[in-house]
Structure 1
Amino acid sequence: MKFMIVFWGAFLFFFCVPFPIFIYMMTEEVITGPRNSLAVSYGFLGLSLLIWGYILVFFINTLFIKTFKQRSTIHSILRNGIPRDAKVMRYQLLKYSPKTNMNAIQIVLSFPNLRNTQIEHEMMFHDSKPQEKRFDVGNHVKVLLNPNVSQEPYFILNDQKVGFNASGMMLRIVFIVLLIAYIIGLYTYFYRRESFDFGWQFLTFMHPIIFSGVMTLIYVLVFQLIVGKFFKNKNEERILFAGRNTEAHILSVSETGVIINDQPQIMFQVSFKDFRGNEHIATYKKIVSLLNLSSVPKKGTIEIMYDENDPKKMMIPKMF
C-alpha cells in the first residue's frame, strides 16, 4: 500500500511539475516581444490564478479543514452520541507493531442503527490494548451513534481517543508550504525571464504557469471522481445508519454492462411498502464478485433498507 502511494505520488509530481516545464523549454521559441494581446494575456493570467487557487483550496481543505471538522464531530459524538451495544461478528488482525504494542485490526460489528434496525458495519483501527482481547468474536463493545447523519463519522467506539499524528501533520504542513513556494516560484521565475517589459503578454495555454496547473487540476478531479464513485458511497452509509428495513419483492435482476475489476455490476428492481404503507418501486446497482454471482437471487423477496424521507433511495445491506 505504501509503495503504491509513493509510486502514484512520484508519478503525479513528474507530470505536474518537471514535465510541463521540460516540454516548454524544449519546444520554446525565443521571442522578445509579446505573444498575445493584453486582454488575452490577462485572461490567461486570471485562468491560471483560478486553477492554482482551486488546487490550493482543495489541498488545504482535504489535509486540514476536513481533519479538524472530523475531530470536532467526534468530540460532539462523545458528548451527545446515542449509545448502542455492539457485538463483534468478525475479527481480522492486519498488522502488529511491537514498538507500540498495538494491533491494526479489522472487525465487523452488529448493532441497532438510529431507527433500531439491526445492521452490520466494518471498521479498521488500531487496538492500543491487544492484551485485553476486547474485540474477539462474540464479545460486546459500546458504540456511540452520530445523531446527525449529514456528518461523518456515523459512529465511534465509546472509549475512542481523539488526537493528531504529529509527524503526519508536519508532513502536511511541509507539503502545503512547498506547494505555495512552487506556485510563487513559477510566476516569479517566468515573469522575470520572459516579460521583457511587456507584463504578462508572454502567457499562452501551454505555458508551464497554466499547463502545470491544468495537469495538477486533472489529477485532483480524477482523484475526487474515483474516491466519490468507487471507494465511498455516502448515500448508502446514511441509509445504513438512519434507514428503515423491510422485505422487498424482486421484480427483475439484470447486468448493466458495467465491469469493474472483471466483476459485473448487477441492477435489482424491487417493489416494497414503506412504514406508512405506501407502495414503491426502486432500483439498486451493486458490483458483485464472480464467486458470488451464482448466489444472486433472481426472484422471491430480499431484505432492503430505505430512506424514510425518500424511499426511492434504497440499498441491499447483505449481499449474498
Structure 2
Amino acid sequence: MKFMLIFWGAFLFFFCVPFPIFIYMASEELATEPRNSLAVSYGYLGFSLLLWLYILGFFINNLFIKTFKERNTIYSILKNGIPRDAKITRYQLVKYLPKTNMNIIQVVLSFPNLRNTMIEHEMMFHDSKPQEKRYDVGNNVKVLLNPNVSKEPYFILNDQKVGFNASGVILRIVFIVLLIAYVIGLYYYFYMRESFDFGWRFLTFMHPIIFSGVMILIYMLVFQLIVGKFFKNKKEERILFAGRNAEANIINVSQTGLTVNDQPELMFQVSFKDFKGNEHIAVYKKIVSLLNLSSVPKQGTIEILYDENDPKKIMIPKIF
C-alpha cells in the first residue's frame, strides 16, 4: 500500500510539475515579441491566478481546515454525543505494530442509530491495549453518536482519544510551502525569461504557468470523483445513522452493467410505506460480491433505511 502511494504520488508529480515545463521548453521557441494582445494576456493572467488560488485553497482546506473541523466535531461528540451500547459482531486483525505493541483492527459494530433502528457499521482503528481483548466478537463497547448528521464523523468510540500526528502535520506544512514556492517560482522565472518589457503578453493556455495548474486541477477532480463514487458515500452514511427503517416490497432486481473489481452492481427497485403511511417507490444501487450474488433476494420483502425528509433516498443496510 505504501509503495503504491509513493508510486502514484511520483507519477502525478511528474505529469503536473516537470512534464508541462519540459513539453513547453522543447516545443516553443523563445519569442521576443508579444504572443497576445494586452486584453488576452491579462485574461490568461487572471485565469492562472484564480486557478492557483483554487488549488492552494483546496489543499489548505483538505490538509488543515477539515482536520481541525473534524477534531472540533469529535470534541463536541465527546461532550454532547448520544450514548449507545454496541455489540462486536466481527473482528479482524489487520496488522500488528511491534514497536508500539498496538494492533490495527477492523470490527463490525451493531447498535441502534439515532432513530433507534439497529444498524451495522464497519470501522478500522488502532487497539492500544490488545492484551485486554476488548474487541473480541460478542463483547460490548460504548459508542457516542453525533446528533448533527451533517458533520463527520457520525459516531466515535466512547474512549476515543483526540490528537495530532506531529510528523504528519509537519509534512503537510512542508507540502504547502513547496507548492507556494513552486507557483511563485513559475511566475518569476518565466516573467524574467520571456517578458522582454512587454509584461505578461507571452502567456498562452499551454504555457506552464497555466497548463501545470490545469493538470493538477484535472487530477484533483478525478481523485474526488473516484473517492466519492467508490470509497465513501456520505449520503448513504447519513441515512445509515439517521434513517428510519421500513419493510419494502421488491419490485425488480437487475444488473446495471457496471462492475467494480469484477463485482457487479445491482439495482433494486422497491416500494414501501413511510412512518406516516405514505407509499413510495425508490431505487437503490449496490455493489455485490460474486460470492454473495446467489443470496440476494429477487422477490418478497427486504429491510431498508430511508431519509424521512426525502423518502426517495434509501439504502439497504444488510451486507450480502
TM range (shorter): over 0.9
Shift, 1:310, TM fit: 1.1
Q: Which runs of 5+ in 2 are unaligned?
A: none
Secondary structure in 2 matching 1:150: coil
Please state how far the C-alpha of 1:270 moved relative to its aligned partner: 0.4
- Find the counterpart in structure 2 of residue 80 from structure 1: 80
Matched with 2:89 is 89
Distance, in Å, in 2 between the alignment partners of 1:296 and 1:95 is: 32
Per-residue CA deviation, residues 192-250 of structure 1 (Å, 9 max, x unaligned), is 00000000000011100001000000001111111111110111100100011111100
The offset of 1:254, in angstroms, is 1.1
Q: 1: CA distance between counterparts of 2:257 and 2:96?
A: 41
Give the deviation of 1:259 after TM superposition.
2.1
2:291 alignment partner AA: L
User: How far apart are residue 296 of structure 1 and its match?
Assistant: 1.6
Which amino acid in the other structure matches residue 209 of structure 2?
I
Amino acid at match of 2:80: N
Counterpart in the other structure of 2:15: 15
Q: Which residue of 1 aligns with 2:217?
A: 217
SS at match of 1:275: coil
Q: TM-score, normalised by structure 1?
A: 0.99
- Given that 2:30 and 2:194 are in contact with CA atoms closer than 8 Å, whether structure 1 keeps it comes out as no
**Cα separation, 1, equivalents of 2:309 and 2:118:** 19
Which residue of the partner structure matches residue 155 of structure 2? Answer: 155
Query: In 2 relative to 1, CA 71–244 (structure 1 residues): closer, same or farther, beyond 3 Å?
Result: same
Aligned residue in 1 for 2:3: 3
Query: Which residue in 1 is equivalent to 2:296?
Result: 296
C-alpha distance in 1, partners of 2:234/2:106?
20
- After superposition, residues 34-53 of structure 1 pair within 5 angstroms as 34-53=34-53
Q: Distance in 2 between matches of 1:261 and 1:120?
A: 24
Runs of 4+ in 1 over 3 A off after TM superposition: none
**Cα offset for 1:99?**
1.1
Q: Distance in 2 between matches of 1:11 and 1:25?
A: 20
Equivalent residues in 2 for 1:189-204 (5 A)? 189-204=189-204
Tell me how far apart the structure 2 counterparts of residues 295 and 102 of structure 1 sit (CA, whole Å). 37
- 1:176 maps to 2:176: yes
Deviations 1:105-150 (A, max 9, x none): 1011000000000111000011111111110111110000000000
Aligned-partner SS, 1:143: strand
Q: Structure 2 counterpart of 1:131, which letter?
A: Q
State percent identity of aligned pairs. Answer: 84
Deviates more, 1:167-176 or 1:295-304: 295-304
2:186 corresponds in structure 1 to 186
Q: 1:30, CA displacement in angstroms?
A: 2.2
2:30 alignment partner in structure 1: 30
CA distance in 1, matches of 2:103, 2:319: 29
SS state at 1:152 partner: coil
The residue aligned with 1:117 is 117
Which residue number in structure 2 is paired with residue 230 of structure 1? 230
Instruction: State the distance in 2 between where 1:3 and 1:224 align.
Output: 21
Number of positions where the alignment pairs a residue of Structure 1 with one of Structure 2: 320
* Aligned mates of 2:65, 2:262 — CA distance in 1: 37
* C-alpha deviation, 1:262, in angstroms: 1.8
Residue identity opposite 1:7 in structure 2: F
C-alpha deviation, 1:62, in angstroms: 0.5
Equivalent position amino acid for 1:286 in 2: K
RMSD across aligned positions (CA): 0.8
Structure 1 Cα separation of the partners of residues 180 and 282 of structure 2: 48
SS in structure 1 opposite 2:55?
Answer: helix
Letter in 2 for 1:47: F
The one-letter amino acid paired with 1:240 is L
In structure 1, list runs of 5 or more residues that go unmatched: none
Q: 1:282-302: per-residue Cα shift (whole Å, max 9, x none)?
A: 110111112222222111011
Does residue 315 of structure 2 align to residue 315 of structure 1? yes
Secondary structure at the aligned position of 1:69 is classed as helix
